[in-house]
Chain A
Amino acid sequence: MVELLGVRKRYGEVVAVDGVDLGLKEGEFFTLLGPSGCGKTTTLRLVAGFEAPDAGEVRIGGERVNALPPERRPIGMVFQNYALFPNMTVFGNVAFPLRLKGLPEREVRRKVGTLLEMVHLVGLEGRYPKELSGGQQQRVALARALAREPKVLLLDEPLSALDAKIREELRGELKRLQRETGLTTLYVTHDQEEALALSDRIAVMREGRVEHLGTPREIYEEPATPFVAAFVGTGVLVPGEAREGLFHRDRPWPVRVKGEGPGFLLLRPERLRLEEGGFLEGTVVLATYLGSLVRLEVEVGGLVLKVDLPPGRVPALGQRVRLGLPEEAPFVREER
């Protein structure tokens, strides 16, 4: 549905997007994930038509759209700061794209009604954006983006301005809406948890390039590079070597890994456990209470490993503990 073929974009000396190749399947929820300045928003803006690529092709629905202005692309977009027209009511905002299309007023009313029902905003038609909460404003923005019946929905960090509780609530709703409408969706975020929860596939970006493209499970469990391993989820990269199917660091560790050669063993906190006779021995240096669990930091031979424990019997700071390793863990090759 959306294809980017060798797309490049630079601003002066800065290369914002450096030869990106991506393909979004129809009905897919696709996320561009990465830290600030990695080029994810520029990539989204290239699809929207707010930026023109210096090289490469952008295709929507098989059609090359490089020279097509945003208003002629079959897209809907939700902005980070909602971008609702402050001088229009909720009804006016959602009706705006429909009126531009020249639909008769009765049809406009019917469609706006359906859209507001879809985003649970019936009864708020007459309110102005400043009279709405952040979550409600974002729902209006979503309804407006869907009004044109776009082929592709673009979402630029739509939840980042909301507080945690509403963010989680809207996240579920976004997923539901996307499933219901079957709309191809390109989502931009720096929040890896959001990306993992929502996406069918994720492209992790760094310095204008796609570092890893895969399903959330692949990204989390088999990160392609140390950067992806460190950026997605919590974990510690232990430098060493993969040899004959086992991880080696001074001595062989009882952890099965895929691949050969120097690299990093990725140890996630939920995969480590406190265990009598565990393979590693270390000292507890920090315990952080996180509500549903306690995250322990244990120093082991110059490394600080993180271990998640149920909140209950937690070892005291300075206590010596033994850590049991997972039978199998992701191994990330060193970057060349």
Chain B
Amino acid sequence: MGWLAHGALWLFSLLFLLPLLWTLRSALLPEGLAYALPPAFGPWTLENFWNVLEGPFGKAFRNSFLVAISVVLLGLPLAAGLGYALARYRVGGHGLRFAVLATQMLPPIVLALPLFALMRLFGLSGTLWALVLSYLAFALPFMAWLLLGFFQSLPRELEEAAYVDGATPFQVFFRVVLPLATPGLFAAGILGFLLSWNEFLFALLLSGRDTQTVPVALSTFVTQRGVLFAQVAAGVVLSVLPVALLARMVDRYLVEGLTLGAVK
């Protein structure tokens, strides 16, 4: 029975991993062989990675990182405050809760033009700030909603005990609630990071030549000579790496955070 379960797990894992493994294979083949039929499995080369890193990709990588980390650093404290206020103080009642959720219901394209106009009006168009602010508009409510569930799952008696011990509401939040919510904060932070890291539409509309992010830079491999599949694959592998490493480093918190917050 055990080998059957293991076999099934391997099969499903392979099904999920196959696209990634195929991308890795394409990234390690010379451009001409990446999409040759029948599929080639050699000769292997790192040339695509060097080509990608020599072009604008390196800068895009830095831009993506700056934007995503700014969204997390600015958004997470605000989301934690909002999530806690919604969870414990019922601020704004059902109306505010619905408003937070409603931001996730809008298709991004609906907001693309208004955001473009707004950023131009404030002179932010083409800057990284335009991306940070736009992503915050989506990531903040998303992170707040995730944390709301997490805060609700914390036993209220812990906060009450802290009050009786003489803590003010702010001390309770900072010294008791936040340390206990660490897994939730990690989960919200990583998902906020991913949301910003992978975003394409707003990045295409709002970024300039110097502020391109990774997804936009990847789209530049669609040239007049055709799609440079091997370089796209190399770019995808490079863009997945930091997120995969980050997730691996904190996967314990991530799983705990996602499941705990989701239970209630």
Contacts and interface: CB of A to CB of B under 8 A. Distances in A.
Interface string A123-136: 00000000000000
Interface string B150-172: 00000101101111111110010
Chain B interface residue count: which class?
10 to 19
A81 B161 CA distance: 11
A327 B49 CA distance: 101
Interface stretch (A96-104, A207-215, A310-318): A96-104
A3 B229 CA distance: 80
B165 A144 contact: yes
Contacts of B236: none
Contact of B164 (A71, A81, A86): A71
A48 B157 contact: no
Interface stretch (A72-80, A184-192, A267-275): A72-80
B161 A79 contact: yes
B166 A100 contact: yes
Contacts of A50: 160, 163
B100 interface: no
Interface centre among B166, B167, B171 (most CB of A within 10 A): B166
Interface residues of A, number: 27
Interface in B147-194: 155, 157-158, 160-168, 171, 175-176, 179-180
A247 B211 CA distance: 97
A168 B157 CA distance: 25
A83 B167 CA distance: 15
Given A85-B176, A86-B180, A87-B180, A79 B165 contact: no
Contacts of B163: 49-50, 69-71
Contacts of B171: 100
A142 B167 CA distance: 17
A81 B166 CA distance: 19
Given A97-B165, A141-B161, 6 more contacts: A49-B163, A50-B163, A77-B160, A79-B157, A84-B161, A101-B166
14 contacts: A48-B160, A70-B160, A75-B164, A83-B157, A83-B161, A85-B180, A96-B162, A96-B175, A100-B165, A100-B171, A101-B166, A141-B161, A147-B165, A148-B166
The 3 closest A-B CB pairs, nearest first, are A97-B165, A83-B161, A83-B157
